[in-house]
């Protein structure tokens, strides 16, 4: 599966731009602030119906414009699909597949998967558990459509239940029956979600460990495990016994919305004890494992978006990644770099159809279209 072309209108700093891509490697070059990452983000929109960096759609509309539109054509084994994502000021965004408007955006997620590797990935380790849940959820959602729907349903119930708990506090009146009406559907969804997350992590962890060994120099044992209070046998009783505490806290204190991924190196927390280099290798291995898992489930390779990684990786890790590129481990790749000469040197080693685009002030142009051979 690959993206044949893209057309941007008033998307961030792009006013009007149409580009035809290589099915192999696309280099997006240009100075800082020119729009390289924005182009990757537009591809992210076509895949996941949202930005990877700014979750407020309206803020992706070009300043002084009243809409943005991103259109693209995906090619899957010769079959072409047009996808359009647009957003007007003050209105909800619209996503179309072959001119048909989606009523549920979640129906689109997973059809044209992408894996994005950025310098911000170490946030996955450094920030709170919400980031790790998001990481896990975004992968499972791309490979299991019912999971995303269950998650959205759970989130809605959780929001409603929390609102009720707040209302009880405001009105100084507790309605036990009303709150209990949420228990059964939420417990059922929690059990399904935690089972799926557990199954996912069991499959994910060994693939991640294999990649960590390949890209890092050090021999430390790394591990990722699923942490959830929901999988314990007593969870249902504890959840039901927690009503009074929920009322006091004015929110639901237990559930899958508190799950986490335990990430360790040499049995210790990577966040607290891992070096910067170890943390970088750790998250790249997580993303490479994401790539493999999506491929296993979808039976085709997701698009790989590499944002500024040459800048942030040392030679050893770059060599490992380029070996993977050379061995055609990946499918279509988009790689951004502010230093064109560096990319040229690195990609000399790769035999692929490589297109280079130069970005300047929100306009990308094709500058080189080469099929390099060993
Ligand atoms: N809604 C918007 N309207 C207009 N311009 C925007 C909007 N959002 C972001 N920008 C502009 O996009 C530019 C940043 O683009 P981007 O992050 O893609 O740059 P880059 O080429 O990746 O830079 P770097 O090499 O520093 O990573 C900034 O100049 C920013 O002002
Ligand atoms: Mg950038």
308 and 244 belong to one structural domain: no
At 6, which CATH number?
A: 3.40.50.300
Q: Is the pLDDT of residue 128 over 90?
A: yes
CB atoms closer than 10 angstroms to residue 96 = 15
**Residue 91 lies inside a defined structural domain of this protein:** yes
Look at residue 374 in the predicted model and tell me its pLDDT: 44
Domain termination site, one of 297, 313, 332: 297
Residue 281 alpha carbon to ligand 1 centre in Å: 27
**Residue 223 lies inside a defined structural domain of this protein:** yes
Angle at 29 between CA 77 and CA 331, to 5 degrees: 20
Q: What is the largest CA-CA distance in the chain?
A: 75
Q: Which residues neighbour 310 within 8 Å (Cβ) at sequence distance 6 or greater? A: 318, 335, 337, 339, 342, 343, 346
Whole-angstrom Cα distance, residue 317 to residue 204?
21
311 and 221 belong to one structural domain: no
Domain that holds residue 260: 125-297
Domain termination site, one of 264, 297, 330: 297
**Residue 118 lies inside a defined structural domain of this protein:** no
Q: Which of 8, 10, 12 to mutate to test the pocket of ligand 1 (most atoms within 8 A of CB)?
A: 12
283 and 323 belong to one structural domain: no
Residue 42 alpha carbon to ligand 1 centre in Å: 12
Residue 87 alpha carbon to ligand 1 centre in Å: 18
Considering the chain, what percentage of its residues have pLDDT values greater than 70?
Answer: 99
317 and 216 belong to one structural domain: no
Residue 299 CB less than 6 A away from ligand 1: no
Model confidence band, residue 58 (pLDDT cutoffs 50, 70, 90): very high
Whole-angstrom Cα distance, residue 37 to residue 23?
19
293 and 310 belong to one structural domain: no
Q: Which residues neighbour 5 within 8 Å (Cβ) at sequence distance 6 or greater? A: 18, 19, 20, 21, 72, 73
**Residue 120 lies inside a defined structural domain of this protein:** no
Q: How many domains does the chain fold into?
A: 2
Look at residue 373 in the predicted model and tell me its pLDDT: 47
**Residue 173 lies inside a defined structural domain of this protein:** yes
Whole-angstrom Cα distance, residue 85 to residue 97?
9
Q: Are 25 and 354 in contact (CB under 8 A)?
A: yes
333 and 288 belong to one structural domain: no
Residue 259 alpha carbon to ligand 2 centre in Å: 31
pLDDT of 185-235, one tens digit each? 999 999 999 999 999 999 999 999 999 999 887 778 999 999 999 988 899
Q: Report pTM.
A: 0.93
284 and 313 belong to one structural domain: no
274 and 341 belong to one structural domain: no
Residue 362 alpha carbon to ligand 1 centre in Å: 8
Q: Whose CA is nearest to atom 11 of ligand 1?
A: 13
Domain termination site, one of 297, 321, 340: 297
166 and 92 belong to one structural domain: no
pLDDT of 255-314, one tens digit each? 999 999 999 999 999 999 999 889 999 999 999 999 999 999 999 999 999 999 887 778
**Residue 218 lies inside a defined structural domain of this protein:** yes
pLDDT of 234-270, one tens digit each? 999 999 999 889 999 999 999 999 999 999 999 999 9
Residue 217 alpha carbon to ligand 1 centre in Å: 35
Q: Is the pLDDT of residue 350 over 80?
A: yes
366 and 250 belong to one structural domain: no
Look at residue 359 in the predicted model and tell me its pLDDT: 98
**Stretch 121-140: mean pLDDT:** 96
Q: Which of 10, 33, 357 to mutate to test the pocket of ligand 1 (most atoms within 8 A of CB)?
A: 33
**Residue 260 lies inside a defined structural domain of this protein:** yes
307 and 292 belong to one structural domain: no
At 143, which CATH number?
A: 1.20.1050.90
**Stretch 139-152: mean pLDDT:** 94
Atom of ligand 1 nearest to the CA of 35: 18
Residue 30 CB less than 6 A away from ligand 1: yes
Residue 64 CB less than 6 A away from ligand 1: no
Model confidence band, residue 162 (pLDDT cutoffs 50, 70, 90): very high
**Residue 119 lies inside a defined structural domain of this protein:** no
What the block records as the tokens of 256 is: 């899958």
71 and 174 belong to one structural domain: no
**Stretch 125-133: mean pLDDT:** 96
């Amino acid at each position: 599966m690959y993206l044949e072309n893209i057309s941007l209108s008033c998307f961030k700093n792009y006013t009007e731009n149409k580009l035809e891509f290589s099915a192999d490697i696309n280099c997006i070059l240009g100075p800082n602030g020119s729009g390289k990452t924005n182009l990757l983000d537009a591809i992210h929109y076509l895949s996941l119906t949202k930005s990877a960096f700014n979750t407020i759609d309206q803020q992706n509309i070009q300043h002084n414009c009243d809409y943005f539109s991103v259109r693209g054509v995906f090619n899957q084994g010769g079959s072409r699909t047009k996808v359009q994502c647009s957003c007007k000021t003050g209105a909800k965004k619209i996503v179309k597949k072959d001119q048909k408007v989606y009523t549920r955006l979640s129906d689109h997620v997973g059809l044209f998967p992408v894996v994005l590797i950025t310098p911000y990935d170490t946030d996955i380790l450094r920030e709170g558990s919400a980031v790790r849940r998001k990481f896990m959820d975004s992968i499972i959602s791309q490979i299991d459509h019912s999971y995303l729907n269950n998650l959205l349903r759970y989130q809605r119930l959780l929001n409603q239940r929390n609102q009720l708990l707040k209302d009880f506090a405001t009105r100084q009146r507790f309605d036990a029956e009303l709150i209990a009406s949420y228990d059964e559907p939420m417990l059922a969804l929690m059990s399904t979600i935690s089972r799926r997350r557990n199954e996912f992590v069991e499959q994910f962890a060994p693939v991640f460990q294999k990649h960590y060994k390949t890209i890092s120099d050090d021999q430390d044992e790394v591990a990722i495990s699923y942490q959830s209070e929901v999988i314990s046998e007593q969870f249902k009783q504890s959840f039901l016994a927690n009503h009074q505490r929920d009322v006091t806290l004015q929110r639901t204190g237990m559930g899958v919305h508190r799950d986490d991924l335990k990430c360790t190196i040499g049995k210790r927390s990577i966040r607290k004890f891992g070096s910067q280099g170890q943390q970088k290798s750790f998250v790249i291995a997580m993303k490479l494992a994401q790539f493999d898992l999506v491929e296993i489930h979808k039976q085709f390779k997701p698009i790989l978006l590499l944002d500024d990684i040459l800048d942030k990786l040392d030679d050893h890790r770059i060599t490992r990644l380029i070996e993977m590129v050379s061995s055609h481990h990946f499918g279509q790749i988009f790689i951004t770099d502010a230093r064109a000469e560096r990319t040229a040197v690195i990609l000399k080693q790769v035999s692929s159809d490589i297109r280079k685009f130069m970005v300047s002030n929100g306009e990308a142009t094709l500058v080189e279209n080469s099929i390099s051979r060993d």
